[in-house]
Every structure is written in structure tokens, then in C-alpha cells.
Amino acid sequence: MISKYPLYINGQFIETPEKQNIINPSTGKVIAEASLASPAELESALSSARLAFDQGPWPQFSLAERKEFIFRIAQGILDNAELLASLEMQNTGKPIKETTFMDIPSSAKTFEFMANNFIGYLDNEELSVSSEARGRIIREPMGVVVLIIPWNYPLLIACWKLASALAAGNTVIVKPSSLTPLTVLELAKIIHKIGLPPAVVNVVNGSGSKIGQLLCEDKRVDMVSFTGSNEIGKQILQYSSKNVKKLTMELGGKSASLIFNDVDLDVAVNSSLTSIFLNQGQMCTAMSRIFVQEGIYERFLESFVQKAKRLKLGLADNHETQMGPLISDAQRKKVIAYIDKAKAEGGKVVCGGKIPENPELKNGYYFEPTVLVDVGVHSHIFKEEVFGPVVLIHKFSGSDEAAILANSVDFGLAACIWTKDLYLAQELAGKLNAGTVWINTYGMFYNELPYGGFKQSGFGKELGKEGFLEYVRFKSMIIDQSEEGKPLVNYWYGF
């Protein structure tokens, strides 16, 4: 029997007449049925979240009480880790090894970190601004926050946003991707069970084209936090301008990895494989452009291609699978179109570039890990995000050229530098237009460090103190201390 997933609004689970089938990209089969929000459900979520913030108990809870709830959400994720890992695997198609050891534990750790640290982030600041006055900077919750979640890391990115938003004292409406809503809807059950007050967290499912505009335009919403594509991000900017509100946006990337002659070749090759083929390349931070210094270029390319060909594509529930399917047939067609265009523009496919022939995989949305060379710097695939298992390998001579190549796109999300010369690496990192630079590693996200990009990769931060403070508004309080309580303004007109 197929599981049914209702919406979660104002502390109630609501089944709606309109529903959608949720597909397992690994098999092409229906695994669940999820309710879709209509304008009526959106109105209920918006009005409930607004009332819960303006008149409900959550913003008035002591910080210690709020901390306890944040910890209980973390524990609820851990208590349900096996279920959540299986759901994430089925709904996204990513290998079970990834969801078990990366997505679910990291989601719980985000809440644990925030519970342990947010109180210190909310400390009010006292300032002596002059001999006649003192000031205070007060940190308050933003209000009602809409969190729009992408399909590539449905639970983890929801938790990044939700942990900060809740710890700051906001009420929240979460809109997961309609392709991958299951783990966020399951998280709603965990939140309900621990007794969070009604309407503090609401989860509405539906396509962005049908409900995204209504959520972003509404004047009852104080903030929208979005992770997703540039195309949708630009639409959200337009929608939100109808009623001014705060925005944070983590958008696309076309990240570059810079590999110098002095590296341990095996370490650089193995790590680079992970940096592009993890999660089938469906990562904003995927190192889809690998630049290799000319002294080791040929050896690196040969080793990389050999190992890419050995990556095991397979069903997501197999613990030996190293690469699963893409999220949908539409995404696979997009990847194929980019490769066809790259070849037409002079690029050469030296590995992959096609749908695998393995009959076991015929019903899923699989695509081989793909390596291209001889790609011109002005070609579409050099500059645009593919969001699939496709990498360009290119050579460079020195660090100045490497920086120019890395910075030659509109995105500025992340980069990697591989060298034993840490002085060179840190100097080069300062020249890269990227919000995160990994040196001799890839993909290590720490809750202590903020994450977010520059240029067309968006604005605002997730994680760390800086990510938390995105969900806080700052109020200045000025207290006059003039002698006899007569401030300068009292004498301005001289009456």
C-alpha cells in the first residue's frame, strides 16, 4: 500500500483533494502520495503562522525553553534516522550510503549545534555612544519566515534553515520541492510529536509555479529564505518586491578546482571524483570545472578517466552503489542537451556522455559519469550550471592564469585548491571570487562556519553565527543620559 503524506498546518495534518505521486528516480516507480496545497491551505498556513508569531507563546518562550525544543528535534531525527535515510534514498535516488552516513546525521547535528550556541548569538550589545546617551542593540526574531527547499538535499537544507529560524524565535512555513517532499513531511511528524506549539512550523507542499508566488508576495511574510536555481531565484525577487521583505538566496554555481603540480596525484584524483560525482553531480558546489597545472595534466586526466569509468552505477538501496540516478527524466534530458551543445562547440567527450546500457537500470534516470576536454572558455557548458555528473578538465600554467579561469564565470559559490604550498593556496584563495574555498579537501561543511556565495550565486549565509543572524532583526535603543534629563533636542526651538 502506498503511503500518504498530508500537509502540516497549525498543528494539524491535512489531506487535500489534490494529490501527487512521488517517484523513486532509481526505479521510476511511485512510492508515495503527497497532498498538494491549494490557495485555501496557503491562507490557513499564512494566517496561522502570523497569529502564532504575533500572539502565540513561541516568541515569548525563555531561551532555555526554546533550546530544549531545538534539542528535542535533533533527538527526534536521530531516533528516526533509519526511516529518514530510507525515505531520502527512495525520494531522491541518492545512494543509501550517502543518506545514512551524511544527510541524516548532518541534519541532526545542525539542530544540536544551534541549540548549543544560539543563546550567545542573541546577546544584546551595550554601547556608550556619547556622554549624553547610551545605546543598546537588541536582537529580535524576524517574524514569519518562508523557507523554500531544493530537491537535491531536501532534509539537510531544510534543517540548515529551520534550526536557525526556530532558534531565533520565528514562526515558519516550509515549502519543500514538490519532487522531494517526503522527509520534510516526515520531519513535521517529529516536530508535532515533541509538542512544539501549533503553527510555529507549517509544511505546505506544491509546485513553485502554483504556490511559490503566493507565499513570496504575501505581506504577512517578513522573510524568504530560498535555495535553488537562478531562474527561480529571479522570480522570487520579483514576487517579493510586491511587499518588501528580507531575502536570503543560495543559488547556482559553476565551481572550479585548481590542482597544482606538487599534489599527491592519487589523493587529488580520488577527491576530485567525489567533488563532481557525489550525488550524481546534483550539487551547487559541484566542482564541474577542474583546472590542472600542465606538468601533471596528462597523468591526472588519464587516472581520472580510468577511475570515473569504474564508478559503480546502481540502485540506490544497494550499499555498494557509488552513483545513483538523476532526479528526473527532465533533468537527464537537460544534461544530454548540454553535452550535445558542448560537442557542437568543439568539446570532446573522453568518458561517459550517455545513458548506461545496464538493463537493471533501465527504469531509472541514470546517466554515466562524463568527462569533457577541449572545451572553450566561451562555450555554454563552461559558463552555465549543468547540475549533473559532467566535468570539464582543462590545463593551466600558473596561479595567475588559474585565478582568471576560475573567476571567468558569473557564479561565485565555491572553489577548491590542491597544493602542498599552503602559502600559495591561501594567497590564491584571496583572489578567488567564491564564498567558500576548500584547500586540499572538498565538501566539508562545518556548522561553525557560514556558507553562501557571491555574484550570481546569491546573497546571505547559512550556518554559523552569521547564518543564524540572517533570521534576526536588529533594533537600536537610545537612552538619553543628559544632566537633569534635558537633552539637546529640548533646546532646539528655544521655548
Burial 84-100, CB ≥16 within 10 A → b, else e: bbbbbbbbbbbbbbbbb
- For residue 373, the model assigns a pLDDT of 98
DSSP 54-114: HTSSGGGS-HHHHHHHHHHHHHHHHHTHHHHHHHHHHHH---HHHIIIIIHHHHHHHHHHH
| Residue 103 DSSP class | I
Domains of the chain: residue spans and CATH: 3-251+457-477 (3.40.605.10), 256-439 (3.40.309.10)
- Grid cell digits, residue 37: 496545497
- For residue 209, the model assigns a pLDDT of 85
Three-state SS annotation for 289-315: EEEEECCCHHHHHHHHHHHHHHCCECC
Sheet containing strand 201-203, edge to edge, reads: 12-14, 7-9, 201-203, 171-175, 144-148, 223-227, 246-250, 458-459
| Residue 21 DSSP class | E
| Residue 323 DSSP class | B
Sheet containing strand 125-130, edge to edge, reads: 125-130, 133-141, 472-480
Nearest-angstrom CA–CA distance, 35 and 321: 31
Nearest-angstrom CA–CA distance, 283 and 387: 7
Nearest-angstrom CA–CA distance, 391 and 152: 18
Q: Report the chain's terminal Cα–Cα distance, integer Å.
A: 82
- Grid cell digits, residue 29: 516507480
Measured in degrees and rounded to the nearest 5, phi and psi for residue 456 equal -75, 0
Is 284 known to be catalytic?
A: yes
Mean pLDDT in order along the chain per 10 residues (495 residues): 94 97 97 97 98 96 97 98 98 98 98 97 90 92 98 98 98 98 98 98 93 96 97 96 96 98 98 98 98 98 98 97 98 98 98 97 98 97 98 98 98 98 98 98 97 98 98 95 85 79
Measured in degrees and rounded to the nearest 5, phi and psi for residue 347 equal -70, 155
| Residue 186 DSSP class | H
The H-or-E segment that residue 391 falls in is strand 390-396
Q: Which of 88, 250, 368, 385 is catalytic?
A: 250
Q: Which of 284, 368, 385, 462 is catalytic?
A: 284
- For residue 350, the model assigns a pLDDT of 98
- For residue 472, the model assigns a pLDDT of 98
Is 250 known to be catalytic?
A: yes
Instruction: Count other C-beta atoms under 10 Å from residue 1's C-beta.
Output: 3
Q: How many residues does the chain have?
A: 495
Residues contacting 142, CB < 8 A, separation 6+: 168, 170, 222, 223, 246, 471, 472, 473
Alpha helices per DSSP H over 80-103: 81-92, 96-98
- For residue 408, the model assigns a pLDDT of 98
- For residue 485, the model assigns a pLDDT of 83
